[in-house]
Amino acid sequence: MTPQGKCAACHRKAVAGKKYCVHHSQAHDSLMDHYKAWVKAYGRISMEEFMDKVLVMKETGSWIREVIAAEKDQMKL
Ligand SMILES: [Zn+2]
């Protein structure tokens, strides 16, 4: 369990009602938008497969990488 009020991907304060801080929330939102666009364009792909593809892209920024690492950690639980 992530303590309430702390970002799941770093030590900053989480945005109220979210599990991420401002920076990681933005990264998470854009990751989700990207995911929806992929599903539209290429059909069914699991979130996990999608995240693996994003991780190998050179243009993926560090905020997104940290969000993916946090999401993957939560999947293992
Ligand atoms: Zn954060």
pTM: 0.86
pLDDT (0 to 100) of residue 10 = 97
Domain ranges of the chain: 23-76
8 Å CB contact between 9 and 20: yes
How far, in Å, from the CA of 54 to the mean position of ligand 1?
19
Distances (CA, A) of 61 to 31, 42, 58, 66: 11, 23, 8, 9
Cα angle at 73 between 70 and 77, to 5 degrees?
Answer: 140
For residue 65, with 0-12 CB atoms within 10 Å meaning exposed, 13-18 middle and 19 or more buried, which class applies? middle
**Does the pLDDT of residue 32 top 60, yes or no?**
yes
pLDDT (0 to 100) of residue 4 = 64
How far, in Å, from the CA of 51 to the mean position of ligand 1?
18
How far, in Å, from the CA of 38 to the mean position of ligand 1?
25
pLDDT digits (tens, 9 = 90+) for 33-67: 999 999 999 999 999 999 999 999 999 999 999 99
